[in-house]
């Protein structure tokens, strides 16, 4: 039985990854911050909360990360912990940097010192590309030009992970994942805000859905597909960085149109209104990824398409709110 340590195990990706690894007979350890009310709803929804061994720890505390690595004795470490909401990163830029940037140095140090043979996955982000090479499909070789405190923190962590690989001979792979969604997505993210809002309107619980920039375009995939790519990266003989994406781009307006259609509601524009408070100080206009390297070297490809993803999310929120 292989041991795996997941930071951010209670998040969307952490929960799907934990289930994926459990299904492959791993012993899964999950790093959890000490909270008065722990947030395990995703793990409970997947039916795996009692199958994960939780370890207290915090990305800002070196000693707790050292202890987590020593106790779990991992052969694979997946660093998914982050302040992951881009909008919040402007309001909490220092916290975002402490967790998403400096915290990565701390978990890398813990692995280097106490599990040097473990393979390490760093969750990098397509947000690092920013508005560089406008209109171009982004690959592993595309220049990086982040446009938010979140993206800048992720860029720092990305290069620090590469540096530890080069400096200490560690097996470190960075997954540059484009937007990936699911019914387990946090309510603050635009896709889940849409699926939840549409469900509320359908059930008569709301009249309007308030959003920011409807013209922003993203390459959206299913989180369950993307965690498989994380695992595939750590099964390789040599560490490499990979872009993971669908290669398709859709606007926020497209997501709205599709979601209202799933719910059987016509004239979606009658129910959607812009709210300036959801606009970003610096907008990332469009992202589209080229995952051909992952297809060629990992054999990875997305299984869930855009329409299936939207349907999955809207139907899940309709079921939740109906209860």
Based on the domain organization, do 213 and 230 belong to the same domain?
no
Which residue in the block uniquely carries the two structure tokens 């350890």? 29
pLDDT at 90: 82
* 154-180 pLDDT, tens digit each: 999 999 999 999 999 999 999 999 999
Q: Do 162 and 30 lie in a common domain?
A: yes
- What does residue 16 show for φ and ψ, rounded to 5 degrees? -65, -40
Of the pLDDT bands very low, low, confident and very high (cuts 50, 70, 90), residue 277 is low
For residues 6 and 57, the answer to whether their CB atoms sit within 8 Å is no
128 plus 191 within the same structural domain = no
Whether residue 299 is contained in a domain is answered as no
Element holding 104 (H helix, E strand): helix 103-114
Residues 90 and 192 in one domain: no
Residue 203 sits in the same domain as residue 129:
no
Which DSSP symbol is given to 274? E
Shared domain for 172 and 256, answered yes or no, is no
Hey, what are 98's tokens?
Answer: 């402490």
Rounded CA Rg of the chain: 19
Of the given ranges (122-131, 134-143, 198-207), which has the lowest mean pLDDT?
Answer: 134-143
- Domain assignment present for 99: yes
Q: What's the whole-number mean pLDDT along residues 212-234?
A: 95
Q: Give me the mean pLDDT over the 115-143 stretch.
A: 90
Full-prediction pTM beyond 0.85?
A: yes
Q: Quick check: 282 pLDDT over 60?
A: no
Hey, which residues are catalytic here?
A: 125, 127, 150
Mean pLDDT, rounded, for 189-194: 96
Least confident of 14-18, 273-277, 309-313: 273-277
Same domain, 68 and 123: yes
pLDDT tops 80 at residue 281: no
Are 234 and 265 contained in the same domain? no
Residue 226 lies in a domain: yes
Percent of the chain with pLDDT over 90: 84
**Does residue 297 sit within a domain?**
no
Chain centroid to Cα 130, Å, comes to 17
Same-domain check for residues 24 and 103? yes
In whole angstroms, what is the distance from residue 317 CA to residue 241 CA?
34
* Total count of domains within the chain: 2
CB 168 within 8 A of CB 129: no
CATH number of the domain where residue 124 is located: 3.40.50.720
For residues 201 and 314, membership in a common domain is answered with: yes
Domain-located, residue 313: yes
Q: What is the pLDDT of residue 36?
A: 66
Full domain range(s) for residue 199: 186-218+248-286+305-322
Query: pLDDT per residue over 10-69, tens digit each?
Result: 999 999 999 999 999 999 999 998 876 778 999 999 999 999 999 999 999 999 999 999
**CATH, residue 208:** 3.90.25.10
Residue 75 lies in a domain: yes
Residues 147 and 66 in one domain: yes
């Amino acid at each position: 039985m292989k041991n795996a340590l997941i930071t951010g195990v209670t998040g969307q990706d952490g929960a799907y990854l934990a289930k994926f690894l459990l299904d492959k007979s791993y012993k899964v350890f999950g790093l959890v911050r000490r909270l008065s009310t722990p947030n395990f709803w995703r793990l409970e929804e997947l039916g795996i909360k009692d199958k994960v061994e939780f370890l207290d720890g915090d990305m800002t505390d070196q000693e707790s990360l050292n202890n987590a690595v020593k106790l779990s004795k991992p052969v694979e470490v997946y660093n998914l912990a982050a302040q992951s909401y881009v909008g919040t990163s402007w309001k909490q830029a220092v916290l975002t940097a402490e967790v998403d940037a400096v915290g990565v140095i701390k978990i890398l140090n813990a692995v280097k010192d106490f599990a040097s043979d473990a393979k390490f996955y760093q969750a990098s982000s397509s947000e690092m590309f920013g508005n560089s090479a406008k209109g171009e499909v982004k690959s592993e070789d595309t220049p990086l030009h982040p446009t938010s405190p979140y993206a800048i923190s992720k860029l720092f962590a990305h290069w620090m992970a590469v540096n530890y690989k080069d400096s200490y001979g560690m097996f470190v792979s960075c997954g540059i994942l484009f937007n990936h969604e699911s019914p387990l997505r946090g309510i603050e993210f635009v896709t889940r805000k849409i699926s939840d809002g549409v469900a509320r309107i359908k059930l008569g619980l709301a009249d309007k859905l308030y959003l920011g920039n409807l013209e922003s375009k993203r390459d959206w995939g299913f989180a369950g597909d993307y965690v498989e790519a994380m695992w595939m990266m750590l099964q390789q003989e040599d560490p490499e960085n990979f872009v993971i994406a669908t290669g398709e781009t859709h606007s926020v307006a497209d997501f709205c149109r599709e979601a209202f259609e799933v719910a059987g509601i016509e004239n979606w524009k009658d129910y959607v209104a812009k709210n300036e408070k959801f606009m970003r100080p610096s907008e990332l206009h469009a992202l589209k990824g080229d995952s051909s390297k992952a297809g060629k070297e990992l054999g990875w490809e997305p299984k869930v398409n855009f329409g299936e993803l939207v349907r999955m999310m809207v139907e899940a929120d309709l079921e939740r709110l109906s209860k």
